[in-house]
């Protein structure tokens, strides 16, 4: 059994707005293991990024706050942790890479400066020259050619893929136990995406960190994750290991997501069948229906789903590690 | 009348690079370089490539939203490159464009009704109030939006609905040809499928011809009859979509397809991971522009730019060492 390094229990994140409080994350549970990758999939507004920010202690407060639930990192609670204490963990033990490599680097500092800043904050025993040497090492680690020259360059001199490599270098420079990657390849081209995903897998093998990969791309999940949680309207509707999820999706939403992607299977030169779609759109968080949040878009909806049985809760389906929150799961 | 609605011959677009104290021209970027293709009536040509390869510039040059440097654009049998602005306006009724970002391409201060009526006003269509209103309702119906949308503002709609409004605006003047510039890239997958289906239905019902630009190969392969691949301003391969996916000749096409993550955990084919980035178009490598990243490159590839090879009447590529 691999070591559990992060445990999220019944996490609720609330935002106060003029129209009342909304729960962007509503009762989320998951574990992260050493050396394994957990994928969190969902459409925009499903709460995946807010979950990540909550773990990092970066929810803007006000208006947001962790209303209830626990986040345990190696058994220690991160919720309501002393800010000074949290600063020692954030960026050091738990690091994050963001979606936009274009905007998450500071344009007026060299990339060497920006890597050294992290090392200076967290590894205070290193001297200035050791820090500079480490910055070069980190760039070499993420596969940037001629790192000695590149450390002196500014972000605008690098391409998008290179910048994302720099972001990864910054995140990994303190050898974190957990890396949270929030849509790390969404802004990149496919050939560059393939390079970055390969790099993350390689570094995970070398450094043994646990990764939380947040994405809307099921293809990326299938290729990189060990376990997957699917989010919808702030809740996890299905979680399983990656093979089970793709071969036997149990929640109609998961199945719908998979069917809406055009596949390359057909070899006929003629027009293919219509794409399967999920009708309608994601309900507003201000106005969630009673019962299952997916009921208005679901083809298998029954009276149970409309609130007569309460809200569906995540419970084991057939497999041990396959959980689904649905009254009429698919076979 | 030829069976081709639009024919592009040797289209080039160079953007000047200015430098120095006096802002003199010191060079040029060839964003689109000698591109030729034809699209039949009712057909969809897909255009794929990575960012910066010139696909958007090509799409806009065809409508002359960007003035091409040289080449011919033959629309309905007439070369429109030398048309005056007034002549061009009449042609534009027949050619429309849908942009990538439905958040940025709708005026937030206009109601949906005004947005859809504006192109009709410009072209003097449906000038009577009753017929204008009937046409507006018909348009909303075509893109499956409720009639009460007319009096609402863009911010009241979701991304997918806004893209439907953009589609309706393009349809307002009854065009024959629509350039779809990454129309579904900004949308979530479940909504993306709805918009793709809508575009295909409209094409069938109205006999539209599409140039469909996207970087998502799965969507392009799905919606297009033929697909063209661009790399650094050049069209390096064009073929029927199933042929291109199964039997790509150009190594770049092959690598591009193999880089797509598949949403299944079974039967994963070997992935080709390309080294390095796309070179700067300001200073492209000599010979075949792909040679520094290509595993098949030979001396010839570094010296000469490969000519077009005809694999079959519908499949052309530019490569000295194609994949067998």
Q: Which residue has the higher pLDDT, B50 or B32?
A: B32
The verdict on residue A305 lying in a domain is no
Q: Which residues of A75-109 are buried (b: 16+ CB within 10 A; e: fewer)?
A: eeebbebeeeebeebbbbbbbbbbbebeebbeeee
Per mean pLDDT, which range of A231-245, B155-169, B180-194 is the poorest? B180-194
CA B186, B192, B194 angle in degrees (round to 5)? 145
CA distances from B276 to A305, B47, B253, B290, B323 (A): 51, 23, 16, 11, 21
- Residue B310: pLDDT band with limits 50, 70, 90: very high
The verdict on residue A185 lying in a domain is yes
The verdict on residue A206 lying in a domain is yes
**Are B287 and B304 spatial neighbours (Cβ–Cβ below 8 Å)?**
yes
Chain A residues whose CB is inside 8 A of the B185 CB are none
CB distance from B246 to chain A under 8 Å? yes
CB contact under 8 A, A257 and B189: yes
CB distance from A276 to chain B under 8 Å? yes
Chain B residues whose CB is inside 8 A of the A220 CB are 261
**Are B220 and B245 spatial neighbours (Cβ–Cβ below 8 Å)?**
no
pLDDT score recorded for residue A267: 46
pTM value is: 0.85
Nearest to A159 among B241, B271, B277 (CB): B277
What element of type H or E holds B122? helix B112-122
C-alpha to C-alpha distance for B19 and B28, rounded to whole angstroms: 11
Q: Across residues B166-188, what is the average pLDDT?
A: 92
CA distances from B165 to B55, B139, B208, B242 (A): 24, 9, 17, 31
DSSP B16-68: EEEETTTTEEEEEEEEEEEEEEEEETT-EEEEE--TTSSHHHHHHHHTTSS--
CB distance from B178 to chain A under 8 Å? no
C-alpha of A325 from chain center: 20
- Please tell me whether residue B11 adopts helix, strand or coil conformation: strand
β-pair partners for B46: B212, B227
pLDDT score recorded for residue A265: 55
CB distance from B187 to chain A under 8 Å? no
CATH of the domain at A201: 3.40.50.300
pLDDT score recorded for residue A269: 43
CB distance from A193 to chain B under 8 Å? yes
CB distance from B44 to chain A under 8 Å? no
pLDDT score recorded for residue A266: 46
CB contact under 8 A, A219 and B263: yes
| Bridge pairing between strands A210-215 and B24-40 | unpaired
The verdict on residue A259 lying in a domain is no
C-alpha to C-alpha distance for B319 and A71, rounded to whole angstroms: 55
- Residue A227: pLDDT band with limits 50, 70, 90: very high
CA distances from B95 to A51, A112, B107, B184 (A): 45, 50, 21, 19
pLDDT score recorded for residue A204: 92
* 8-state DSSP, A269: S
List, in sequence order, every beta strand (DSSP E) within A208-265: 210-215, 227-232, 235-241
User: Mutating which of B42, B204, B264 best tests the A interface, going by the most A Cβ atoms within 10 A?
Assistant: B264
Domain that holds residue A167: 4-225
pLDDT score recorded for residue B269: 59
Q: Is the pLDDT of residue A72 over 80?
A: yes
Domains: count for chain A: 1
C-alpha to C-alpha distance for A35 and A39, rounded to whole angstroms: 13
Chain B residues whose CB is inside 8 A of the A244 CB are none
| Bridge pairing between strands A210-215 and A235-241 | unpaired
Could you give the percent of chain B with pLDDT greater than 90?
62
Chain A residues whose CB is inside 8 A of the B50 CB are 189-192
C-alpha to C-alpha distance for A245 and B138, rounded to whole angstroms: 42
The verdict on residue A304 lying in a domain is no
C-alpha to C-alpha distance for B235 and B220, rounded to whole angstroms: 16
- Please tell me whether residue A5 adopts helix, strand or coil conformation: strand
Question: What φ, ψ does residue A284 adopt, rounded to 5°?
Answer: -70, 140
C-alpha to C-alpha distance for B200 and B143, rounded to whole angstroms: 11
**pLDDT per residue over A181-190, tens digit each?**
998 888 778 8
C-alpha to C-alpha distance for B51 and B232, rounded to whole angstroms: 9
β-pair partners for A15: A22, A64
The verdict on residue A166 lying in a domain is yes
The verdict on residue A252 lying in a domain is no
* 8-state DSSP, B197: H
C-alpha to C-alpha distance for B42 and B206, rounded to whole angstroms: 9
**pLDDT per residue over A8-65, tens digit each?**
999 999 999 888 888 999 999 999 999 999 999 988 888 999 999 999 998 888 888 9
Nearest C-alpha neighbor of B46 from the set B191, B194, B240: B240
**pLDDT per residue over A254-268, tens digit each?**
999 888 888 765 444
pLDDT score recorded for residue A272: 60
CB contact under 8 A, B222 and A281: no
Q: Across residues B227-243, what is the average pLDDT?
A: 92
Q: Is the pLDDT of residue B297 over 70?
A: yes
User: Mutating which of B56, B190, B247, B269 best tests the A interface, going by the most A Cβ atoms within 10 A?
Assistant: B190
C-alpha to C-alpha distance for A117 and A11, rounded to whole angstroms: 32
**Are A205 and A218 spatial neighbours (Cβ–Cβ below 8 Å)?**
no
- Please tell me whether residue A306 adopts helix, strand or coil conformation: helix
**Are A222 and B262 spatial neighbours (Cβ–Cβ below 8 Å)?**
yes
Question: What φ, ψ does residue B13 adopt, rounded to 5°?
Answer: -135, 120
The verdict on residue A250 lying in a domain is no
**Are A110 and A101 spatial neighbours (Cβ–Cβ below 8 Å)?**
no
- Residue B152: pLDDT band with limits 50, 70, 90: very high
Q: Which residue has the higher pLDDT, A331 or B55?
A: B55
Q: Which residue has the higher pLDDT, B38 or A262?
A: B38
**pLDDT per residue over A302-313, tens digit each?**
888 888 888 888
Question: Residues 133 to 172 of A: which have CB under 8 A from any B CB?
Answer: 159-162
Chain B residues whose CB is inside 8 A of the A190 CB are 50, 215, 217, 256, 259-260
For the domain spanning B4-34+41-94+175-231, the CATH number is 3.40.50.300
Half-sphere exposure of B8 (CA within 13 A, CB side): 22
Per mean pLDDT, which range of A62-66, B186-190, B233-237, B275-279 is the poorest? B275-279
C-alpha to C-alpha distance for A234 and A12, rounded to whole angstroms: 9
Half-sphere exposure of A129 (CA within 13 A, CB side): 0
**pLDDT per residue over B274-296, tens digit each?**
877 778 888 888 999 999 999 98
pLDDT score recorded for residue A287: 84
Nearest to A260 among B190, B243, B266 (CB): B190
Q: How many helices (H) and strands (E) does chain B have?
A: 10, 12
Q: Is the pLDDT of residue A322 over 60?
A: yes
Average pLDDT, chain B: 90
Examine the predicted complex and report whether its ipTM is higher than 0.85.
no
User: Mutating which of A143, A219, A275, A285 best tests the B interface, going by the most B Cβ atoms within 10 A?
Assistant: A275
pLDDT score recorded for residue B268: 56
Q: Across residues B197-213, what is the average pLDDT?
A: 94
Contacts of A156 (CB under 8 A, 6+ apart): A107
Q: Is the pLDDT of residue A226 over 90?
A: yes
CB contact under 8 A, A223 and B261: yes
- Residue A270: pLDDT band with limits 50, 70, 90: very low
CB distance from A285 to chain B under 8 Å? no
Q: Across residues B60-81, what is the average pLDDT?
A: 93
């Amino acid at each position: 059994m691999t070591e559990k390094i992060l445990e999220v229990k019944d996490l609720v994140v609330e935002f106060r707005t003029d129209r009342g409080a909304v729960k962007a994350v509503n009762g989320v549970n998951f574990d992260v293991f050493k050396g394994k990758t957990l994928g969190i999939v969902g459409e925009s507004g499903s709460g995946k990024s807010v979950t990540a920010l909550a773990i990092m202690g970066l929810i803007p407060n006000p208006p947001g706050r962790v209303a209830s639930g626990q986040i345990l990192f190696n058994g220690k609670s991160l919720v309501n942790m002393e800010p000074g204490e949290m600063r020692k963990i954030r960026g050091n033990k738990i690091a994050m890479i963001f979606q936009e490599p274009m905007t998450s680097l500071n344009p007026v500092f060299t990339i060497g400066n920006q890597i050294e800043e992290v090392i200076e904050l967290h590894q205070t025993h290193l001297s200035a020259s050791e820090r500079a040497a480490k910055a070069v090492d980190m760039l070499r680690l993420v596969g940037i050619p001629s790192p000695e020259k590149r450390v002196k360059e500014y972000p605008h001199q690098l391409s998008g893929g290179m910048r994302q490599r720099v972001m990864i270098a910054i995140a990994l420079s303190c050898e974190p136990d957990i890396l949270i990657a929030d849509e790390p390849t969404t802004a990149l081209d496919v050939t560059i995406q393939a390079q970055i995903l390969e790099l993350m897998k390689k570094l995970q093998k070398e450094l043994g960190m646990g990764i939380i990969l947040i994405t809307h791309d099921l293809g990326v999940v299938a290729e990189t994750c060990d376990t997957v949680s699917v989010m919808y309207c702030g809740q996890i509707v299905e979680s399983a290991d990656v093979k089970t999820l793709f071969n036997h999706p149990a929640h109609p939403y998961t199945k719908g997501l998979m069917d809406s992607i055009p596949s390359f299977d057909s070899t006929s030169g003629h027009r293919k069948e219509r794409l399967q779609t999920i009708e309608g759109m994601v309900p507003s968080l201000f106005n969630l229906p009673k019962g299952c949040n997916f009921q208005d878009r679901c083809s298998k909806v029954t009276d149970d789903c409309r609130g007569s049985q309460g809200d569906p809760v995540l419970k084991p389906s057939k497999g041990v590690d396959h959980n689904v929150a649905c009254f009429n799961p698919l076979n | 009348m030829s069976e081709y609605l639009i024919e592009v011959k040797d289209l080039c677009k160079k953007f000047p690079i200015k430098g120095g104290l006096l802002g003199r021209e010191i060079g040029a970027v060839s964003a689109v370089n000698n591109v030729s293709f034809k699209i039949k009536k009712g057909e969809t040509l897909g255009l794929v490539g990575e960012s910066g390869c010139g696909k958007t510039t090509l799409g806009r040059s065809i409508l002359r939203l960007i003035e091409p440097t040289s080449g011919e654009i033959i629309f309905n049998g007439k070369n429109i490159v030398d048309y005056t602005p007034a002549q061009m306006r009449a042609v534009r009724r027949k050619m429309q464009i849908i942009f990538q970002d439905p958040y940025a391409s709708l005026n937030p201060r206009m109601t949906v009704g005004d947005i859809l009526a504006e192109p009709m006003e410009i072209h003097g269509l449906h000038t009577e109030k009753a017929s204008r209103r009937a046409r507006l309702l018909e348009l909303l119906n075509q893109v499956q939006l409720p009639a009460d949308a007319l009096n609402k503002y863009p911010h009241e709609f979701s991304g997918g609905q806004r893209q439907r409004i953009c589609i309706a605006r393009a349809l307002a003047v009854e065009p024959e040809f629509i350039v779809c510039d990454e129309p579904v890239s900004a949308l979530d997958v479940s909504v993306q499928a709805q918009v793709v289906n809508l575009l295909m239905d409209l094409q069938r019902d109205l006999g539209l011809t599409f140039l469909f630009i996207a970087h998502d190969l799965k969507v392009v392969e799905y919606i297009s009859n033929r697909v063209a691949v661009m790399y650094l301003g050049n069209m390096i391969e064009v073929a029927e979509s199933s042929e291109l996916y199964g039997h790509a000749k150009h190594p770049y096409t092959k690598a591009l397809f193999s880089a797509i993550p598949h949403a299944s955990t079974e039967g994963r084919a070997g992935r080709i991971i390309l080294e390095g980035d796309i070179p700067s178009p300001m200073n492209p490598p000599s010979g075949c522009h792909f040679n520094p990243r290509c595993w098949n490159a030979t001396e010839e590839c570094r010296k000469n730019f490969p000519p077009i090879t005809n694999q079959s009447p519908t499949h052309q590529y530019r490569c000295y060492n194609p994949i067998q």
